[in-house]
């Protein structure tokens, strides 16, 4: 059974005080939501404070990144155990902004996924093509390669614990959403690739989220697509009213 999941990526927005205010407001409006798992991913400076607000609510906590080592002399970095220690159950891995600005490769992303799984965190693994790749006609190949290389050496048992997010880079923060057909089509490509690498058990049960300018006015149509199980939301997750409406999507 595929889970519906709506995750909010707060990126590098919100001071701790602002993050706590947003979490408090979400806690009030999201208390009665059913059949959907809700995750918020604040900046690392606010993780613990947000956890204190949401710990007795259905909202779960995720981080936006981890360093792929258990511990060590890595100035400025945060380990998987550290985010778990402050209440995280989820972690976003391989977001396109990290691939672009921090030159993250599929190999590094693979290492992060394995380490996250090894301590019981649920990775939300992001894949997606750039506009250039789409215009060149290699969007599907790009995503298939990211899936194949990013998941090397991960067992079927572990794969069943992973969430995939398809986020076409050209749709992130741009106001351009992939049409429901385009998004659903790529989710099917991902599912087909997972069934080739693993099995139909994996492809049928894994949750695949769509991300890229998801808003209250497009969530319903996106969620009504057969292969879309949820959303990874950036801009619209920064406001309690819009994120709550997204969480209360109607299929
Ligand atoms: C994201 O940050 O993952 C994202 C999809 O952003 P936005 O919703 O703003 O496009």
Q: What are the residue boundaries of the structural domains of the chain, listed by start? A: 5-247
Q: Which of 95, 129, 133, 187 is catalytic?
A: 95
Three-class DSSP category at 176: coil
pTM of the model: 0.97
- The pLDDT, as a whole number, for residue 27 is 96
CB 91 within 8 A of CB 122: yes
Mean pLDDT, the chain, whole residue set:
96
pLDDT tens figures, 171-190: 998 888 889 999 999 999 99
Q: How far apart are CA 101 and CA 221, in angstroms?
A: 32
3-class DSSP state of 125: strand
* Pocket perturbation via mutation, ligand 1, pick of 124, 210, 233 by most ligand atoms within 8 A of CB: 233
Ligand 1 atom at minimal distance to the Cα of residue 211: 5
Tokens standing for residue 98 = 């990290």
Q: Rounded CA gap, 40 and 54, in Å?
A: 10
- Quick one: what percent of the chain has pLDDT higher than 70? 100
Helix/strand/coil for 230? strand
Which pLDDT score, from 0 to 100, does residue 251 have?
Answer: 82
Locate 185 and state its tokens.
């089509």
pLDDT at 120 over 80: yes
Q: How far does the centroid of ligand 1 lie from the alpha carbon of residue 128, in Å? A: 12
User: How much is the average pLDDT of 69-94?
Assistant: 98
Interval between CA 149 and ligand 1 midpoint (Å)? 23
- Give the Å distances, CA to CA, from 81 to 8, 17, 95: 21, 24, 20
Cβ-contact 38, 30 below 8 angstroms: yes
Q: Determine contact, residues 63/99, Cβ cutoff 8 Å.
A: no
Average pLDDT over residues 39-48: 98
Q: What is the pLDDT of residue 176?
A: 85
pLDDT at 212: 96
How many residues would you count in the chain?
A: 251
Which CATH number does the domain 5-247 belong to among 3.20.20.70, 3.40.50.970, 3.40.190.290, 3.40.50.300? 3.20.20.70
Q: Is residue 95 annotated as part of the catalytic site, yes or no?
A: yes
Dihedral sign for Cα 69, 72, 78, 82, please. positive
Q: Is 187 a catalytic residue?
A: no
């Amino acid at each position: 059974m595929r889970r519906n999941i709506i995750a909010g990526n707060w990126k590098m927005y919100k001071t701790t005080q602002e993050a706590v205010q947003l979490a408090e407001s979400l806690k009030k409006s999201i208390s009665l939501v059913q059949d959907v798992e809700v995750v918020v991913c604040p900046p690392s400076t606010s993780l613990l404070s947000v956890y204190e607000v949401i710990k007795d609510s259905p909202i779960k906590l995720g981080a936006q990144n981890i360093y792929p080592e258990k511990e060590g002399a890595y100035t400025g970095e945060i380990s998987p155990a550290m985010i778990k220690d402050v209440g995280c159950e989820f972690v976003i891995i391989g977001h396109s902004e990290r691939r672009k600005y921090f030159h993250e490769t599929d190999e590094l992303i693979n290492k992060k996924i394995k380490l996250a799984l090894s301590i019981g965190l649920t990775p939300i693994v992001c894949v997606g093509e750039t506009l250039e790749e789409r215009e060149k006609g290699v969007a599907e190949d790009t995503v298939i390669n990211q899936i194949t290389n990013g998941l090397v050496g991960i067992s079927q048992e572990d794969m069943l614990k992973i969430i995939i997010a398809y986020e076409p880079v050209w749709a992130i923060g741009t106001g351009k959403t992939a049409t429901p057909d385009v998004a659903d089509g790529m989710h099917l490509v991902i599912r087909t690739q997972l069934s080739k690498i693993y099995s139909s058990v994996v492809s049928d049960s894994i949750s695949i989220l769509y991300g890229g300018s998801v808003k209250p006015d497009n969530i319903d149509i996106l969620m009504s697509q057969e292969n879309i199980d949820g959303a990874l939301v950036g801009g619209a997750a920064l406001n309690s009213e819009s994120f709550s409406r997204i969480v209360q999507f109607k299929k």
